[in-house]
Amino acid sequence: MHRIIAIALVSLSAGAVQAADAVRTEKNMSLGLANEIATQTVATCTANGYAVTATVVDRAGTVRAVQRADNAGPHTLEASRLKAYTSASAKNSTGAIMEASQKNPAAANLGQIPGYLLLGGGLPIKVGNEVIGAVGVGGAPGGHLDEQCAQAALTKLASQLQ
């Protein structure tokens, strides 16, 4: 009888360990932080004379915040969303993904993935090495300028990304 109880306890303990391993804890950004990133990104681009839209997505690519500057073209809404989605999905900057797809024949079809936009202007948002989302910017006269605005905002808010 004691042997049966011991076997049952060992089985229950193993099940509890497996259940604990099945639950993950992830860092996520608040709506307030997402709004600050979008606002700072648009403000930086506006100060540089660019009318842009900034979209912030969470780790799953779901939109958390959008800011559209006065005079930003209507196409900038979707461009910024797609850049943010691409960056969050690939956990990399869209400029780097675009460059890799141009230089590496094996990566040439990345632009064919539904929802991907391989233009500069999307940056992952990280806490340490963990990607918790991304910001995408559309509307400056060049993806590298979109990316500069996003990077300036992330640098300014770095203390909140701890």
pLDDT tens digit string along 134-152? 999 999 999 999 999 999 9
What is the C-alpha to C-alpha distance for residues 80 and 66, in angstroms, rounded to an integer? 9
As its CATH architecture, domain 26-160 has 2-Layer Sandwich (3.30)
pLDDT tens track for 56-93: 999 999 999 999 999 999 999 999 999 999 999 999 99
Strands 130-138, 53-58: pairing kind = antiparallel
- Contact present, 54 and 67 (Cβ < 8 Å): yes
pTM of the model: 0.86
Lowest mean pLDDT, pick from 42-56, 79-93, 98-112:
98-112
Domain extents in the chain: 26-160
96 CB-side CA count, 13 A = 9
pLDDT value at residue 21:
78
pLDDT band of 13, cuts 50, 70, 90? low
**Total residue count of the chain as it appears in this document:** 162
Predicted local distance difference test score (pLDDT) of residue 148: 98
Give me the pLDDT at residue 3, please: 59
Complete DSSP assignment for 57-121? EETTS-EEEEEE-TT--THHHHHHHHHHHHHHHHTS-HHHHHHHHHH-GGGGGGGGSTT---SS-
Residue 28: which pLDDT band, with cuts at 50, 70 and 90?
A: very high
Averaged pLDDT score across all residues of the chain: 92
